Amino acid sequence: MPEHKYRFNPQTLNFERIRLSAWQRTKRILLLLTPGLVVGLLGIFLVYQFLDSPKEALLRRENKQLLLQYELLNKQLAELDRVMLDVRRRDDNIYRVIFEADPLPENMRQAGSGGSNRYKDLQGFASSDLVTDTRKRLDKLSRQLVVQSKSLDEVASMVLRKQEMLASIPSIQPVANKDLTSTAGGFGWRIHPIHKISKFHAGMDFTAKTGTPIYATGDGRVVFAEYATNGYGMHVIIDHGYDYQTLYAHLSKLNVKRGQKVKRGDVIGLIGNTGLSAGPHLHYEVHKGGEPVDPVNFFFNDLSPQEYVQMLEISRNAGQSLD
């Protein structure tokens, strides 16, 4: 049974049971519960302040792992930056030097991007600085890769053009010249065999029997192939592109016609004695940018260093040309 409390009434000289109102009972209960509530709330506060819930512990581990991955990613980006710098140096200092092309401008290499803040959505978090820096480096590297890819495409195009140019530049002798015995008058001032005066000889002479094959010295297109009254007689002119032209004079027969494309080594005609010529031979000229240049400098595909020196001596010592 519940314990009842009594008090003495001096007027009635009796003990009367104490009866509490509902509010008094409620207040007494609250007074009894308050210390427990305070202790409980304090305990809950301390637990949440210093101890993680299972979900918070899981999120904290995931965040720690993400930060670790970002650090590793930044290290990999640093390595990729070094690789990109090496590719860039090779591109500017090797590939473009070989193909005589200017290096890319620095502002194009940097591949910057202006405008509004593209990373504002990444702000406001505990790891915002790390995430934003990683994103910026990744975006910059992506833009530089695009620029470098275009540059390498350009270099590849230059390789193809270089191959075409190397095939087009006249680089062999126009006649078979074993032991250089066919070499005659060279480039420079010579005595003309018919006019008997000193005259500039704009090419090289190669002696051979009438009917000896004459070869195109580089790829190109025939722009002239007929007889002329300018002293060259029957002759051929080939336009090789890249500002190069070659002329083959005094032919006895033409094997090509105007507009025809030829390859290095194709027979374009036969040696003869047409025009102003002192005997069967080929007069051969190389023109660069419209001006005659010494053909002896363009036989690098045919001659060894020793043969080149020998041909120089023969061509320079000849006092008279054959045309």
The pLDDT of residue 235 is above 80: yes
Q: Which residue has the higher pLDDT, 184 or 269?
A: 269
Residue of 305, 300, 323 lying closest to 207 (CA atoms): 323
The pLDDT of residue 248 is above 80: yes
Q: What is the pLDDT of residues 103-128, one digit of tens each?
A: 777 777 666 655 556 666 666 666 67
Q: What is the pLDDT of residues 127-142, one digit of tens each?
A: 677 777 787 888 888 8
Q: Residue 292: pLDDT band by 50, 70, 90 thresholds? A: very high
Q: Residue 192: pLDDT band by 50, 70, 90 thresholds? A: low
CA distance 321 to 196: 10
Name residue, tokens 């002759």. 235
What are the tokens at 196?
Answer: 């008997």
The percentage of residues in the chain with a pLDDT greater than 90, rounded to a whole number, is: 24
CB 211 within 8 A of CB 271: yes
Residue of 299, 310, 296, 276 lying closest to 186 (CA atoms): 296
CA distance 52 to 41: 17
CB 215 within 8 A of CB 284: no
What are the tokens at 86?
Answer: 């090496």
Taking the CA atoms of residue 176, residue 171, residue 241 and residue 162 in that order, the dihedral angle to the nearest 10 degrees is 140
Q: Residue 85: pLDDT band by 50, 70, 90 thresholds? A: confident
Q: What is the pLDDT of residue 124?
A: 62
| Residues 6+ positions from 7 with CB-CB distance below 8 Å | 15, 16, 18
The yes or no reply on domain 178-317 and CATH 2.70.70.10 is: yes
CA distance 130 to 123: 10
Q: What is the pLDDT of residue 276?
A: 85
Q: Residue 212: pLDDT band by 50, 70, 90 thresholds? A: very high
Q: Is the CA virtual torsion 38, 41, 44, 48 positive or negative? A: negative
The pLDDT of residue 319 is above 60: no
Threshold 0.85, pTM exceeds: no
Q: Which residues of 222-251 are buried (b: 16+ CB within 10 A; e: fewer)?
A: beebeeeeebbbbbbbbbbeeebbbbbbbb
Q: What is the pLDDT of residue 318?
A: 58
Which 8-state DSSP code applies to residue 123?
-
Q: What is the pLDDT of residues 38-82, one digit of tens each?
A: 877 877 777 666 666 677 777 777 777 777 777 888 888 888 888
The pLDDT of residue 271 is above 80: yes
Q: Which residues of 279-305 are buried (b: 16+ CB within 10 A; e: fewer)?
A: ebbbbbbbbeeeebbbbbebbeeebee
CA distance 181 to 300: 18
Residue 179, SS3? Answer: helix
Residue 132, SS3? Answer: helix
Q: What is the pLDDT of residue 52?
A: 63
